[in-house]
């Protein structure tokens, strides 16, 4: 992941609602969650949620899929892996192989 994309992702996550939404979607796993379910789970208004989902989507941290009149959202774990990889690139004195097990642990198809 390049530096600018890393900053965009970190900026998107640097807000309490967006961080809560992303963590909830990570918890939901590959099945994701409908927008209404997210709003109900976090007790936030639909328009507030929509704005925050758009910011997370622009940072490539979530993806969506239309299901009839509803939209289901999913955490983009590949983006999070890229973000963590960038942050841990030079860990342990440049021995990034020592950090690889951490990255492998989040290698799910979410």
pLDDT of residue 93: 78
Number of compact structural domains in the chain: 1
Residue 108's pLDDT is 54
Give the pTM. 0.85
In a domain, 94, yes or no: no
Tell me 29's DSSP state.
Answer: G
Counting as low any pLDDT under 70, the low residues of the chain are: 96, 103, 106-110
Does residue 98 belong to any structural domain of this protein?
no
Domain that holds residue 58: 3-76
Burial 40-61 (b: 16+ CB within 10 A, else e): eeeebeeeebeebbebbeebbb
State residue 1's pLDDT score: 82
* The pLDDT of residue 91: 76
Q: State how far the Cα of 75 lies from the Cα of 47, in Å rounded to an integer.
A: 20
Q: What's residue 20's pLDDT?
A: 98
The CATH number linked to 20 is 1.10.10.10
């Amino acid at each position: 992941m390049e530096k600018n994309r890393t900053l965009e992702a970190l900026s998107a996550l640097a807000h309490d609602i967006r961080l809560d939404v992303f963590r909830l979607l990570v918890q939901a796993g590959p099945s994701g969650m409908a927008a209404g379910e997210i709003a109900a789970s976090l007790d936030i208004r639909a328009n507030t949620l929509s704005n925050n989902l758009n910011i997370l989507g622009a940072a490539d941290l979530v993806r969506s899929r239309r299901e009839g009149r509803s939209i289901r959202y999913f955490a983009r774990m590949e983006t999070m892996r890229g973000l963590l990889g960038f942050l841990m690139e030079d860990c342990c004195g440049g021995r990034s192989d020592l950090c690889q097990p951490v990255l492998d642990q989040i290698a799910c198809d979410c």
